């Protein structure tokens, strides 16, 4: 199994390109199921999960074609066409490996009037139910049956009537599924307390480009007037705000200055505010963000929250950064109940972190020391890379298949800005 070897302590400097957003890509790709015309996505990141989603679409009868990608390019262009659906089922084997597969539920139901999707089950960062996805679809007129580990959703008469739903808590995935189901409904759908994440805005903009009628984009109330059919479109995936934030933490902790090319400051308010509070200098440019490390980082008090709050997907990377801050930080995770699996690994490198329920107290230490560590999920893996870049000596991060799911050519990007990092392939 591959691992990543880092010899830490080198400041980062130069330009680092930011890829298309994984979380956006995986919600834009299922839009291809909503029309018999081609959907072309530009700036799709080259990631294992994007390939995996392509395979799932293939199984449902969608052709996928990748254009003009030279090996040295970041990102690629993919054209997907679901001229005719050949299946409406997402099987256990695929959903188990890639949770985002659940996002075919809404579009299959909208286009074919039925969908059968395996329940995703638990996951490393906690219990992640899909009850809100199902309740929103039911409110729009779907009939839902649960049997043998599968959800079967049906639209009586082949097409959803549409309806109103107030989300009791903000859910990114449930908002996405409901949106994709609503665009082809017979009537109007109103979603209240909907997620407002930039990836939701990206999804709405793509659906509008395909002919959908959506009001309130970017707000917590979305009103969708169903249309009879959607057409094809060409759409550019937004920049990955989590990738950009991760590299910002990396430069903040190692010293130096990085220009994150393609990053969009407008999507990164809470992350950039937190970095500034820690003493990091941030310069927002038209198509990039320049991040410059202070001599010593200050401590922070942060609590994760739905957008525009501080993202749960940035918690682990900030924790790694704050292990070297001058003082004690307090981090609170409010979205997932088990998202501190990086803590014992960071402790192996000399970090001083105490978890108390949903909160973690991070007392800054003078130095981290390299150690063999193991990644447990995507963002936790990145936190270990960040710590390894700052640590004295060698850090070997294993189980890096998590990183390949979410960071396009991580070691190549970091090598180019001065990190001593390499992938070790075994077997
Ligand atoms: C969540 C994050 C998203 C992040 C992603 C991957 C939020 C609001 N969402 O999105 O930013 O990119 O993880 O790390 O920060 N819930 C239910 N029932 C449901 C769906 C969700 O109870 O049917 C709960 C979840 O357990 C969680 C909260 O609602 O506590 C938000 O979950 P949700 O936004 O749906 O999760 P993801 O879409 O995976």
Active site residues: 123
Among residues 138, 131, 180, 145, the alpha carbon closest in space to that of 161 is found at 138
User: Ligand 1 centre from 24 Cα, in Å?
Assistant: 14
Q: Which atom of ligand 1 is nearest to the CA of 131?
A: 23
User: Ligand 1 centre from 378 Cα, in Å?
Assistant: 15
Q: Which residues pair with 81 in a beta bridge?
A: 63
- Whether 124 and 8 map to the same domain: the answer is no
- Whether 261 and 160 map to the same domain: the answer is no
Question: Is the shortest distance between the CB of 129 and ligand 1 below 6 Å?
Answer: yes
CB 16 within 8 A of CB 413: yes
β-strand 328-332 against 301-303: which pairing, if any? parallel
d(CA 160, CA 140): 6
- Whether 207 and 244 map to the same domain: the answer is no
- Whether 371 and 274 map to the same domain: the answer is yes
Residue 374: how many CB atoms within 10 A of its CB?
19
Q: Which atom of ligand 1 is nearest to the CA of 132?
A: 23
Among 180, 202, 236, residue at a domain's last position: 236
Among 236, 262, 284, residue at a domain's last position: 236
Distance from the Cα of residue 381 to its chain's centroid: 14
Question: Is the shortest distance between the CB of 242 and ligand 1 below 6 Å?
Answer: no
For the chain, the domain total comes to 2
Among 208, 236, 264, residue at a domain's last position: 236
- Whether 305 and 230 map to the same domain: the answer is no
Q: Which atom of ligand 1 is nearest to the CA of 130?
A: 23
Q: Give the pLDDT score at 427.
A: 64
Question: Is the shortest distance between the CB of 335 and ligand 1 below 6 Å?
Answer: yes
The preferred substitution site among 22, 124, 128 for testing ligand 1, maximizing ligand atoms within 8 Å of CB, is: 128
- Whether 8 and 58 map to the same domain: the answer is no
pLDDT tier for residue 73 given thresholds of 50, 70 and 90:
confident
Atom 20 of ligand 1, residue of closest alpha carbon: 130
Among residues 14, 11, 2, 9, the alpha carbon closest in space to that of 261 is found at 14
Tell me the per-residue pLDDT of 186-242, one tens digit each, with 9 for 90 and over: 999 999 999 999 999 999 999 999 999 999 999 999 999 999 999 999 999 999 999
User: Ligand 1 centre from 258 Cα, in Å?
Assistant: 31
Residues 128-143: what's their mean pLDDT?
95
pLDDT tier for residue 1 given thresholds of 50, 70 and 90:
confident
Q: Give the pLDDT score at 292.
A: 98
Residues 62-87: what's their mean pLDDT?
90
CB 389 within 8 A of CB 414: yes
Question: Is the shortest distance between the CB of 173 and ligand 1 below 6 Å?
Answer: yes
Write out the residue range of the structural domain in which residue 188 sits: 24-236
Question: Is the shortest distance between the CB of 172 and ligand 1 below 6 Å?
Answer: yes
Of 55-59, 165-169, 234-238, 402-406, the poorest mean pLDDT is in: 402-406
Q: Is the pTM of this model over 0.95?
A: yes
Kindly report the backbone phi and psi dihedral angles of residue 404, in degrees, each rounded to the nearest multiple of 5, phi listed first.
Answer: -65, -20
Question: Is the shortest distance between the CB of 311 and ligand 1 below 6 Å?
Answer: yes
- Whether 227 and 246 map to the same domain: the answer is no
- Whether 255 and 213 map to the same domain: the answer is no
Token pair, residue 316, equals 């682990």
% pLDDT > 70, the chain: 98
CB 89 within 8 A of CB 117: yes
Residue 237 is given by DSSP the state: P
- Whether 246 and 324 map to the same domain: the answer is yes
d(CA 123, CA 307): 22
Question: Is the shortest distance between the CB of 315 and ligand 1 below 6 Å?
Answer: no
Q: Give the pLDDT score at 124.
A: 67
Q: Give the pLDDT score at 6.
A: 98
Here the CATH number for the domain that contains residue 105 is: 3.65.10.10
Q: Give the pLDDT score at 121.
A: 65
- Whether 165 and 260 map to the same domain: the answer is no
- Whether 146 and 199 map to the same domain: the answer is yes
Tell me the per-residue pLDDT of 302-325, one tens digit each, with 9 for 90 and over: 999 999 999 999 999 999 999 999
Question: Is the shortest distance between the CB of 123 and ligand 1 below 6 Å?
Answer: no
- Whether 55 and 199 map to the same domain: the answer is yes
Token pair, residue 170, equals 């903000």
Q: Which residues pair with 223 in a beta bridge?
A: 190, 215
Q: Give the pLDDT score at 68.
A: 66
Tell me the per-residue pLDDT of 115-126, one tens digit each, with 9 for 90 and over: 999 988 656 666
User: Ligand 1 centre from 322 Cα, in Å?
Assistant: 25
Residues 28-33: what's their mean pLDDT?
98
**Cis peptide, bond prior to residue 30, ω within 30 of zero:** no
């Amino acid at each position: 199994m591959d691992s990543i070897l880092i010899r830490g302590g080198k400041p980062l400097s130069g330009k680092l390109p930011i890829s298309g957003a994984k979380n956006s890509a995986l919600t834009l790709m299922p839009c291809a199921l909503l029309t018999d015309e081609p959907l072309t996505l530009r700036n799709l990141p080259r990631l294992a999960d994007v390939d995996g989603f392509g395979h799932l679409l293939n199984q449902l009868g969608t052709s996928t074609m990748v254009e003009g990608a030279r090996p040295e390019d970041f990102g690629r262009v993919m054209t997907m066409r679901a001229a005719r659906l050949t299946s409406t089922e997402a099987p256990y084997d695929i959903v188990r490996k890639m949770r985002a597969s659940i996002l075919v539920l809404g579009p299959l139901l909208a286009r074919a009037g039925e969908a059968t999707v395996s329940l995703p089950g638990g996951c490393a960062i906690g219990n992640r139910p899909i009850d809100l996805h199902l309740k929103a679809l039911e409110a729009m007129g779907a009939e839902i049956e649960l049997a043998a580990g599968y959800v079967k959703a049906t639209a009586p008469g082949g097409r959803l009537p549409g309806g109103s739903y107030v989300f009791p808590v903000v859910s990114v995935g449930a908002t996405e599924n409901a949106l994709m189901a609503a665009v082809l409904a017979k009537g109007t759908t109103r979603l209240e307390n909907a997620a407002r994440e930039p990836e939701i805005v990206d999804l709405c903009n793509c659906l509008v480009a395909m002919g959908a009628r959506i009001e309130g984009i970017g707000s917590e109330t979305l009103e969708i007037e169903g249309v009879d059919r959607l057409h094809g479109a060409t759409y550019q995936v937004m920049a990955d705000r989590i990738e950009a934030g991760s590299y910002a933490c990396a430069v903040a902790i190692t010293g130096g200055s990085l220009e994150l090319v393609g990053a969009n400051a407008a999507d990164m308010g809470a992350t950039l505010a937190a970095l500034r509070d820690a003493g990091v200098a941030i310069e927002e440019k038209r198509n990039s963000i320049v991040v410059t490390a202070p001599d010593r980082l200050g401590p922070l008090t942060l609590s994760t929250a739905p957008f525009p709050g501080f993202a749960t997907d940035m918690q682990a990377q900030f924790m790694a950064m704050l292990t070297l801050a001058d003082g004690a930080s307090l981090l609170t995770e409010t979205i997932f109940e088990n998202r501190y699996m990086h803590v014992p690994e960071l402790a192996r490198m000399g970090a001083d972190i105490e978890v108390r329920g949903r909160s973690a107290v991070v007392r800054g230490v003078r130095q981290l020391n390299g150690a063999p560590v193991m990644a447990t999920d995507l963002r936790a893996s990145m936190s270990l890379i960040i710590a390894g870049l700052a640590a004295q000596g060698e850090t070997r991060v294993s189980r890096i298949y998590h990183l390949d799911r979410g960071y396009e050519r991580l070691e190549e990007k970091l090598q180019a800005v001065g990190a001593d990092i390499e992938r070790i392939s075994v077997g």
